[in-house]
Amino acid sequence: MSVPEHVITMEETLEFAERVHAGKPQLPLALRLIRNTGVRKRHIVQPIEKTLTHPGFEERNRIYEVESKKRCPEVIDRALANAGVAVTDIDLIIYVSCTGFMMPSLTAWLINEMGFRSDTRQIPISQLGCAAGGAAINRAHDFCTAYPDSNVLIVSCELCSLCYQPADDNIGSLLSDGLFGDAVAAAVVRGTGGTGIALERNASYLIPNTEDWISYAVRSTGFHFQLDRRVPGTMEPMAPVLRELASRHGWDVGHLDFYVIHAGGPRILDDLAKFLFVDRDMFRHSWATLTEHGNIASAVVLDAVRRLFEEDTMVPGATGVIAGFGPGITAEMVMGTWTVDPLDAVGRAGLTASVPDLRDLAPATGVPAV
């Protein structure tokens, strides 16, 4: 994963909010909510003073295209190297982003610019928001189950700061202004070989009648993020869904070895831990992402997986879950087992997954090679 060079701290966020939205009656509550996020700093693609201006939807989308083309190739190169595959080994590219728009998708540019094969399949996902990281992993799992010798590249490019709307001052908008950060992440899901999370069973779930709780209003000024105050409470109905998924797989969701959970905010993580009867520390990788980068949308789960690799405490057979949450309210979930490839033990580190018949897949996120 990679984050931009411009940094804004929690203290600076509060200072800018007080200056830009001075006198607004909802500001004191918004400041308190921002303080409670636990986000120490975030990274953004432009200096903060430039971010706070609005040059128009067209110019912002132009910046999105320029920055995504500048930042994605390096992250992709690292993911490919960590997975031990070349660009010509990739059969499908899944590109996820909810913070800018391009047609054709960035996938077409990547194929031409980086030398991927012309018959590489493309799946752009642009409307699943923060859940798209989990969805990309699940669609890669599905693809490699259907085509077991294939390799899938996942790319997440979330430049959330380009969606800042100076005129939006409701509580949901002000909170999101202090929560979201920018990041680019990539992963490779291999059809055979590798060390990492063996993807075994995936599922999707939509909480009924919540489709307007997280949404974009698309106006002449761009994407206006809308967040319902009921969203933080969605983990109570979501916990039984995760419990049932694990149960169908023969596991107890409260007694897994690792949890990669979307860091939508502190209450999301706290509530899910509580309703799953899991120690809060089991979500430490998601907490670290939230603290150091903020909510980086679809890139959260990929960064949390990177942290799991770098911690280097998993043993073969360790069980876990990856779960992303987003608009809908939608959940994308996958159960997996830590698997070690003997070749990787002496050669390289990747991120691995395998399907139920023991054929291996392998996601690789910017994990240092060994």
Active-site positions?
130
Q: Torsion angle of alpha carbons 61, 62, 66, 72, nearest 10°?
A: 20
Cβ proximity of 266 and 256 under 8 Å: no
Contacts of 41 (CB under 8 A, 6+ apart): 7, 8, 9, 10, 292, 293, 294
Q: Where are the alpha helices (DSSP H) in 100-249?
A: 106-114, 132-146, 171-177, 235-248
Question: H helices of 116-196, where?
Answer: 132-146, 171-177
CB 262 within 8 A of CB 268: yes
Bridge partners, residue 42, by sequence: 8
Residue 301's Cβ-side half-sphere holds a number of Cα atoms within 13 Å equal to: 35
CA distance 332 to 322: 8
Q: Which of 100, 215, 231, 229 is nearest to 163 (CA)?
A: 100
Residue 87 corresponds to which amino acid? V
Backbone angles phi, psi at 313, to 5 degrees: -115, -5
Q: 330, 270 in Cβ contact below 8 A?
A: no
DSSP strand pairing (196-210 vs 328-339)? antiparallel
DSSP letter for 295, please. B
